[in-house]
Amino acid sequence: MSRVVPILKDPVVVAALIAVLLIAIGGILRPGFASPDQIVDMLRVASFLGIIAIGQTIVVLSGGEGIDLSVGTVATLGAILASRTMAGDDAMIVPGVLLALGVAALIGLANGLGIVALKIPPFVMTLGMLGVVGGLILVVTGGRADGRAAPALVSLVNGRDVLGLPGILIVWLVLGGAVTLVLRRTVFGARLYAIGTSREAARLSGVPVRRVTVSAYVLSSLFAALGGIAMVGYSQQVFLNLADDLTLPSIAAVVIGGTLVAGGVGGYLGSAVGAIVLTVLTSLLTTLAMPEWARIVVQGVVLIALLAVYGRQRRLRA
Amino acid sequence: MTVTSPLVRLSGVHKRYGGVQALRDASLTAAGGEVHGLLGPNGSGKSTLGKVLAGSVRPDAAEIVLAGESVRIGSPRAAARLGVAAVYQQLSLVPDLSVGQNLVLGSEPGRLGFLSDRAAARRVAPVLERLTPALGDVRFDDAVRDLAPGQQQLVEIGKALLREPRVLILDEATASLHRDQVALVFDIVRELREGGAAILFVSHRLDEITELCDRATILRSGVTVAETSVPDTTPDEIVRLMVGDVQQVEREHRDAAGGPVRLRVRGLAGGALHGVDLDARGGEIVGLGGLQGQGQSELLLALFGAIAAAGDVEVDGEPVRLASPRSAARRGIALVPGDRGTQGTLPARPIQENLAIASIAGRARVGVLSTRREREAAQSMVDALAIKIGSLADPISSLSGGNAQKVVFGKWLLTEPSVVLLDDPTKGVDVGAKAEIYRIVRGLAEQGATVVINSSEDRELVTVCDRVLVLFEGAVRATLVGDEITEERLVQAALRIGEGTQGAATGEDAA
């Protein structure tokens, strides 16, 4: 008992158990829901959210009420820029991705500078940026989304080319592993946790607080754009609001994964599991043919319930 | 002033903050119609004793008798109901509210929960009028934010007067006032005395004490050591009572460090600082003494680039840009800040990260850390400083005050600093850890570092310092060297400097 209980208090373990439980329930209610094919499919959908949640995790860890409300529209803009550049041509994948990442980096830079130089609270700054990027999308597209994903990108997401799995899952795994290493094994990671825990103590330890903060928001926009590009590989056609709805789930995934909203404690593994929980929950509720309003209510209730459980325990996880 | 039945009697007051016993069986008796001074060196517990009576500090044990009745005072509100009001140097005003709203805050007149500005204006009019000679043209509707610090302090005093207190506690309430403002406050205090109130007057300024007080209670290390009639006692005797029989503090007698000047400061000014000059050699431990709050912490923070200041600072002959803690740290300056919880440590993070954070970039290769090097670096400090920990992975918040402070020292020792700034480094640590921290400080000096240390305890300065600079209102006003450094000399220097210079550098223009 004494050895089991501490593990059960780890939010990552709790979230993972919930994911497994949801799949099991789905399998009982609707045979086929828990089939390997169906699970791979759900993971594939979870990967877009999971990649966007990488940046959101970094921003939340940076503390100072860190949050990025612009990730959804930045992902959409990234998808639009990339897919218009590709226009269905494999040769244009690299320029398309680079263009999307470049623009995203500028957006993240603007977010970061607004927060550290103009002292605008992250919530307000990124909310404003959400509007600005929405406007940019209209300017770029003239209100007409006509980008098409290149075939190679489509098969990366929709094919089963790598050991029978979609390549995007491997991409997600690599990105997730890389960010985990960055958080745990680099100067940047140590400084990110430091500023998230106490900006004042970090500053008085010689940490370049402003530079680390700006970097966090740049990374957030970069991963948002990558998530958007993956998503357009899935849908093949781009839409004007393709990834807009992923902002709140990306925050929810971070929170479900046990990262402290105040910053400084947590990690990406939890957020990845959180993304899976949210995706499985949505699939399950859809499979059960629940009306949309009921799905939204259930998702909200699950989030609040988890936070209530986590709120009772404030342990350190590095 | 014959004391028939005392209006206020506190006895057996105990209060412990963590490892520090702030009050140990302290007592105080004051009669109605008396101005009663509360005296003691830094950290003697006089403010804490006042706050016990004002209900803002909950004592571990205390007996409080007010007008013959035994009472319990659990909150400032309870104190207000009993007719006890307090004014501190730290203001309790709401800057965005008006003068009038602040005056009635907590006792707003009105009906059925609706406020009545007219009733409030009627109520505060006499108090505002009484303060007018010193307050100037301040109206009911003026925002407190727009007032000068001295005027705000007077509004704070007005707020206490409005409650028509039987017992008024003035805790350093005159520190930010001009001479004529102080005179008015003294007039008001004397009127209250005529009206039969008891006034408890806490001040560092000996001349104010001798001018105003009838009797005084003297505290030392949380214990009441004397009660004395002020007119019958000379200032020298008061200082002697505060310091006590001079106990021989163990001093490390060392040859004066003869090396070259490592830290050179010229005309450092800004905020609370008004032109500080300082030369310190390698291996030298320089103390910052004086009354608390005379710019000691600000001096250390300014040298570390953590608060805005202008002036010339050189380390080993190289100029230091006072731009940020980062640029200071690069020049080999380290700071152990005054508030361990919010400034010194990353509470939720592991001990290893807390030890590593200041020196982490130097151990990394292209930004990547070696798990082994990180662990070894942290472990080397745990061993060298004898930090008692469970595991390097435990959060630093699991450590005692002394061990957490050693981690803060270790964090900077890993950067091999040439100038070490210490802001009250043994605050809230127990006696054993204190001795170990002194050993660390001496070790730093022996290895050639320059140490500048601020302390709220004079005894600490006597114990570790080669030289003490006594600060007053943001400037160095006296220097004690070697055997001159005694507790008595420190207290005398701190108190005497203040005489006659009151209000010189504060007041309206400071807004």
Report the CATH superfamily, name and number, of domain B249-332+418-511. Answer: P-loop containing nucleotide triphosphate hydrolases (3.40.50.300)
Q: What is the pLDDT at residue A316?
A: 38
* CA-wise closest residue to B398 among B446, B432, B349: B349
Task: Say if CB B196 and CB B33 are below 8 A apart.
Answer: yes
Amino acid identity of residue B83, one-letter, is G
- DSSP label at residue B345: -
Q: What is the pLDDT at residue B504?
A: 38
pLDDT band of B271, cuts 50, 70, 90: confident
Provide the 10 A C-beta neighbour count for residue B387. 24
pLDDT band of A147, cuts 50, 70, 90: confident
Q: What is the pLDDT at residue B298?
A: 93
Q: Most A CBs within 10 Å: which of B346, B351, B368, B398, as the mutation test of the A interface?
A: B346
CATH topology agreement for domains B6-243 and B249-332+418-511: yes
Lowest mean pLDDT segment, chosen from B63-72, B100-109, B192-201, B439-448: B100-109
Cβ-Cβ contacts under 8 Å for B189 (sequence gap 6 or more): B35, B168, B170, B199, B201, B212
Which residues of chain B make contact with A194, given a CB cutoff of 8 A?
Answer: 346, 349, 353, 357
What is the SS3 assignment for B282? Answer: coil
Beta strands in B139-193 (DSSP E): 167-171
- DSSP label at residue A148: B
| pLDDT beyond 80 at B458 | yes
Task: Say if CB B375 and CB A232 are below 8 A apart.
Answer: no
Percent composition of chain B: helix, strand, coil (DSSP 3-state, to 5): 40, 25, 35
**For residues B199 and B195, what is the distance between their CA atoms, to the nearest angstrom?**
11
Provide the 10 A C-beta neighbour count for residue A174. 10
Task: Say if CB B7 and CB B198 are below 8 A apart.
Answer: yes
Q: Mean pLDDT, chain B, as a whole number? A: 86
Between A309 and B338, name the one with better pLDDT.
B338
Which residues of chain B make contact with A187, given a CB cutoff of 8 A?
Answer: 360-361, 364, 367-369
| pLDDT beyond 80 at A212 | yes
Residue B342 has its nearest CB partner, among A194, A198, A208, at A198
Name the most confidently modeled range: A105-119, B55-69, B495-509: A105-119
For residues B427-452, one letter each, b for 16 or more C-beta atoms within 10 angstroms of the residue's C-beta and e for the rest, the string is bbbeeebbebbbebbbebbeeebbbb
Which neighbouring-strand residues pair with B200?
B36, B169
C-beta atoms of B325 and A203 within 8 A: yes
CATH architecture group of domain B6-243 = 3-Layer(aba) Sandwich (3.40)
Q: What is the pLDDT at residue A201?
A: 95
Domain parsing of chain B, residue ranges:
6-243, 249-332+418-511, 344-416
Reported as a single tens digit per residue, the pLDDT across B175-196 is 778 778 888 999 999 999 999 9
What value does the mean pLDDT take over residues B337-365? 92
C-beta atoms of B344 and A190 within 8 A: no
Helix (H) or strand (E) holding B413: helix B401-413
Reported as a single tens digit per residue, the pLDDT across B287-323 is 999 887 788 999 999 999 999 999 999 999 999 988 8
Report the alpha-carbon angle A76-A79-A84, nearest 5. Answer: 125
Q: How far is CA B193 from the centre of its chain?
A: 29
Query: Minimal Cα distance from A191: which residue of B?
Result: B357
Reported as a single tens digit per residue, the pLDDT across B401-444 is 889 999 999 999 999 999 999 999 988 777 778 888 999 999 99
C-beta atoms of B346 and A187 within 8 A: no
Task: Say if CB B152 and CB B177 are below 8 A apart.
Answer: no
Query: Minimal Cα distance from B360: which residue of A?
Result: A187
Query: For chain B, how many residues are written?
Result: 511
C-beta atoms of B349 and A193 within 8 A: yes
Main-chain phi, psi angles of B316, to 5 degrees: 50, 40
What value does the mean pLDDT take over residues B487-510? 58
- DSSP label at residue A164: T
Reported as a single tens digit per residue, the pLDDT across B200-245 is 998 877 788 888 999 999 998 889 998 999 999 888 888 888 877 6
Residue B343 has its nearest CB partner, among A187, A204, A318, at A204
